[in-house]
């Protein structure tokens, strides 16, 4: 009984103290690049912390390599058809070729994020570029999804 109470207390505490100010994040710019010779689809984002305090991961676990903040693109069905997909997973994941970001959101500052994924061979690069918005940017805090940005909605918002 005592262990169950401690587990509930730990889970409640981690939910309350984790990536708690994600509502202050805003995508201010996106750029999609297709490099056919390297077979990659690249996403570049500018994400702004509109808040007054830093946003960072509080994720901790007993292992040696904490995950912290991670950015991934979850493809929808049409994009999945033109991309190389990860095997042996229950999740819809494209094969990652690399990424870059600071993993920390300074207050009132834009952070640059880039993500690269492997396209299938012999696909039309213009089709891939058009379908790139058929997806969602996920910001993970450890193993939990902290926030989701549907890219089609972001594209429409930024074009207005």
Residue 100 has pLDDT above 60, yes or no: yes
| DSSP label at residue 94 | B
pLDDT digits (tens, 9 = 90+) for 34-93: 999 999 999 999 999 998 888 877 777 777 666 678 899 999 999 999 999 999 999 999
The 10 Å Cβ neighbour count of residue 33 is: 14
Longest dimension (CA), the chain: 60
Mean pLDDT value of segment 7-33: 63
Count of domains observed in the chain: 1
Q: Which residues, including other chains, have CB under 8 Å from residue 65's CB and lie 6 or more apart?
A: none
Write phi, then psi, for 23 (nearest 5 degrees).
-65, -10
The yes-or-no verdict on residue 5 having pLDDT over 50 is no
Residue 150's domain comprises 2-159
What global pTM score does this model have?
0.82
């Amino acid at each position: 009984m005592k262990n169950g109470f401690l587990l509930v207390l730990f889970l409640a505490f981690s939910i309350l103290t984790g990536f708690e100010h994600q509502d202050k994040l805003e995508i201010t710019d996106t750029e999609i690049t297709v490099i056919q010779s390297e077979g990659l689809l690249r996403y570049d984002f500018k994400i702004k912390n509109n808040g007054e305090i830093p946003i960072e991961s509080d994720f901790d676990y007993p292992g040696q390599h904490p995950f912290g903040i991670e950015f991934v693109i979850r493809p929808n069905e049409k994009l999945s058809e033109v991309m190389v997909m990860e095997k042996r997973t229950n999740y819809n994941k494209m094969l990652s070729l690399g990424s870059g970001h600071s993993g920390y959101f300074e207050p009132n500052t834009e952070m640059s994020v880039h993500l690269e994924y492997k396209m299938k061979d012999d696909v039309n690069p213009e089709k891939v570029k058009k379908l790139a918005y058929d997806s969602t940017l996920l910001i993970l805090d450890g193993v939990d999804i902290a926030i989701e940005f549907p890219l089609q909605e972001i594209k429409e918002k930024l074009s207005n």
